[in-house]
């Protein structure tokens, strides 16, 4: 695959720890003749993060905690199997969550466009409220994506509901218009695709994803997984 992702050790700089994690981000190609670079811009703070694809869209995705690919590495995504259906997402230490660096698995379930999805499980919350939740990126043409005002299709990240929640949603269809999917899962992030000459898309946390309740690691995992999907679609 070319560049080895194993040599990279992710970290988050003091600037990001102080300013907060990226929650509303515009994603565009950066100008470069020799490298595939992607620029992430926070619409809240104006901060920039650089993403470097050293082997193009077929290799690792390296997120830098700053505006250049010389800044510290914040996250790394690489293929975990030969079929390209599993990705390893290397996350940095999270002092606020009291968690060290680790790797999470992100899975692509291939199928027809309507049934295609990506999913991951991750511990969310802090200390006594920490728990494991499953999240699914599902294709969407709905109001969540349309609300971004820059895309007609994309993906919504749904926190998989408990069984009681799935059973009750059928009796309360109005909840779907309040940030919930048809099965009762809460929409916690959206990705709007914008395949222009320079634009790649737009990432935005929603619901409990935006409040910070799910934790810093979730925010980074949501961002990394959304861009992984977009890069995977370019192959």
Q: 229, 221 in Cβ contact below 8 A?
A: no
Q: What is the pTM of this model?
A: 0.89
- Whole-number pLDDT of residue 64: 95
Residue (of 181, 189, 196) closest to 155 by Cα position: 189
Between 164 and 92, whose confidence is greater?
92
Mean pLDDT computed over every residue of the chain: 85
Q: 185, 160 in Cβ contact below 8 A?
A: yes
Compute the distance between CA of residue 175 and CA of residue 16 in angstroms, rounded to an integer.
Answer: 34
Which helix or strand (DSSP H or E) is residue 139 part of?
Answer: strand 131-140
Give residue limits of the domains in the chain. Answer: 5-234
Find the radius of gyration of the CA atoms of the chain.
17
Residue 152 pLDDT more than 90? no
Percent of the chain with pLDDT over 90: 51
**Mapping DSSP to helix (H, G, I), strand (E, B) and coil, where does residue 213 land?**
coil
Confidence of residue 45 (pLDDT cuts 50, 70, 90): confident
Residue (of 105, 82, 107, 78) closest to 3 by Cα position: 78
Enter the tokens of residue 201.
């898309």
Output DSSP code: residue 209: H
CB burial string 140-171: b at 16+ within 10 A, e below: bebebbbebebbeebbbbbbbbeeebeeebee
Class of domain 5-234: alpha beta
């Amino acid at each position: 695959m070319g560049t080895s992702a194993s040599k990279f050790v992710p970290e988050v700089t003091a600037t990001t720890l102080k300013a907060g994690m990226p929650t509303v981000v515009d994603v565009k190609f950066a100008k470069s003749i020799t490298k595939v670079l992607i620029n992430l811009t926070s619409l809240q703070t104006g901060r920039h993060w650089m993403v470097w694809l050293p082997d193009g869209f077929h290799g690792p995705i390296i997120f830098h905690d700053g505006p250049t690919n010389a800044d510290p590495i914040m996250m790394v995504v690489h293929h975990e199997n030969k079929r390209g259906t599993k990705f390893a997402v290397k996350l940095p230490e999270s002092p606020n969550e009291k968690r060290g660096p680790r790797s999470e698995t992100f899975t692509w379930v291939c199928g027809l466009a309507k049934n295609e999805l990506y999913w991951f499980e991750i511990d969310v919350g802090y200390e006594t409220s920490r728990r494991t939740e499953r999240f699914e990126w599902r294709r969407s043409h709905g109001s969540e994506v349309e609300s971004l005002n820059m895309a007609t299709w994309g993906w919504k990240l749904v926190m998989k509901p408990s069984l009681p929640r799935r059973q009750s949603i059928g009796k309360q269809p109005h909840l779907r218009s309040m940030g919930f999917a048809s099965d009762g899962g809460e929409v916690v992030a959206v990705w709007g695709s914008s395949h222009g000459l320079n634009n790649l898309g737009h990432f935005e946390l929603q619901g409990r994803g935006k409040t910070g309740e799910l934790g810093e690691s979730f925010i980074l995992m949501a961002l990394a997984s959304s861009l992984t999907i977009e890069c995977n679609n370019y192959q």
